[in-house]
Amino acid sequence: MIQITNLTKTYGAGNKTVHALNGVDLQINSGMFGLLGPNGAGKTTFMRILAGIVNPSGGSIRVDGHDLTTEAGKHAVKSMLGYLPQELGMYTELSAEQFVDYMAILKGLDDSKKRNKRVSEVLEMVGLREVANRKIKGFSGGMKRRVGIAQALVNDPKILIVDEPTAGLDPEERIRFRNLLVNLAADRVVLLSTHIVEDIGQTCRDLAVLAKGRILFRGSPTDMLKATEGHVWSLTMSGLEKPNHDLTVVSMLHLAEGTQYRLVGASAEGYSSAQLTQPGLEDAYVWLMKQSQEEVMLS
């Protein structure tokens, strides 16, 4: 469905050149695909290229056979695309229904009867049917995000791109969002870009980890966990000293007997009381980032 070969995006020139994307190769098929990475990894740039808003500096990117480096290709892809950007700007003086209706018109749904029906459907899908006539400026953050997803769905897109959709949402809203996205992924490509590991873990069977414009990992969450086995420990220490020996502290909890640390690293040789623990996805992410930093230092 989406074929990406050696995708690059560069900003600036000379000493100030930033390689936002540096030779990304990916093939994404139907279903839920997660793109994980730290801030500044290039996720939003990648999403914007897929949405046809940003032009790549090099490489090729084809969506359902259409070449995104050409105007005709971009136009064709935008017709089958639903996009929820990270910074969601909306016309807050419009009601939810009006806004989604307007976006439907911009996406080419000219038949007013079909469009009205579709707008109702998507608002129902995101649980905003009852407040459809309320102005967006009166909505909470979560509700605004839901309006965002509604406008992304209104043209029944083959590809749905959601960039950091759960940032700033409360846990209940995040769960609702994740479930909605998984439902939608049954019959289309859903690309979820996030730095929240849990969102990926709960929804995606296929993911890539992006850092400094490069793909560090490509596979399933299970593969990522397998690669981390043997590198996660639990350690309780008393006193003020913190674990070192090139171990990353993923979490710490103050207990009566001392502080319990969850550690990720190559080895916990220096700590005889450290106990190997089953890795979680967050641990896997930290281990991956650690390895990539070490590779950079060695090179």
Contacts to other proteins by CB under 8 A: 48, 51-55, 71, 75-76, 78-79, 81, 83, 85, 87-94, 98, 101-103, 105-108, 110, 151
Give least dist CB 264 to other proteins, A.
34
CA 299/CA 295 separation, integer angstroms: 6
Q: Which amino acid is at 156?
A: D
**In the complex with other proteins, which residue's Cβ is closer, 24 or 152?**
152
**In the complex with other proteins, which residue's Cβ is closer, 104 or 274?**
104
Phi, psi of 106 (to 5 degrees): -65, -25
Residues 47 and 161: beta-carbon distance below 8 Å: yes
Give least dist CB 138 to other proteins, A.
16
**In the complex with other proteins, which residue's Cβ is closer, 110 or 130?**
110
Percent of residues in the chain assigned helix, strand, coil, to nearest 5: 40, 30, 35
Distances (CA, A) of 123 to 45, 120, 294: 29, 5, 47
**In the complex with other proteins, which residue's Cβ is closer, 85 or 243?**
85
Helix (H, G, I), strand (E, B) or coil at 82: strand
Give least dist CB 52 to other proteins, A.
7
Q: What does the DSSP 8-state code read for residue 8?
A: E
**In the complex with other proteins, which residue's Cβ is closer, 51 or 225?**
51
